[in-house]
Amino acid sequence: MSRPKWTETVEPQDQEKVAVAYKQMPDGSTRVVAAGTGVEAEKIIAQAQASGVQVRRNEDEVEQLLRSENEQGSNVPPEIYELMAVVINFAQEVNEQWLRENYEDSEY
């Protein structure tokens, strides 16, 4: 497993600072290991810097990481959504065909 990478973004004066720490997993997925706003974000950034981990500022990346982390149970990368839809559609068609062949006289 890789070392954590830390990303922070500095928001305008009326918004709090946000920090996200993430790891690239062996299967290629990304896992958020720490996230925080305000004082918590400052602690995350300080810990990263003290550990010698590179800290980058990237508002878009922070937003994307937080959004993906909030989608609990979803480890499917967006790049393969279309493929997953095709596979699910195929499975449904096979199931319907099997039902027609095995239950011709009844409704399913």
Distances (CA, A) of 35 to 5, 44, 78: 12, 8, 22
- Res. 74 pLDDT band, cuts 50 70 90: low
| Same-domain status, 87 and 60 | no
Domain limits for position 84: 76-108
pLDDT score, position 1:
47
| Same-domain status, 61 and 85 | no
| Same-domain status, 50 and 21 | yes
Token pair 């449904």 is found at: 92
Q: Give the CATH number, domain containing residue 57.
A: 3.40.1690.10
Pick from 47, 54, 45, 49: nearest CA to 20: 45
Distance linking the first and last C-alpha atoms of the chain: 48
| Same-domain status, 37 and 64 | yes
Please state the pTM of the whole predicted model.
0.47
| Same-domain status, 57 and 26 | yes
| Same-domain status, 56 and 104 | no
Least confident window among 36-40, 71-75, 83-87: 71-75
Higher pLDDT, 88 or 2: 88
Strand partners, 9: 18
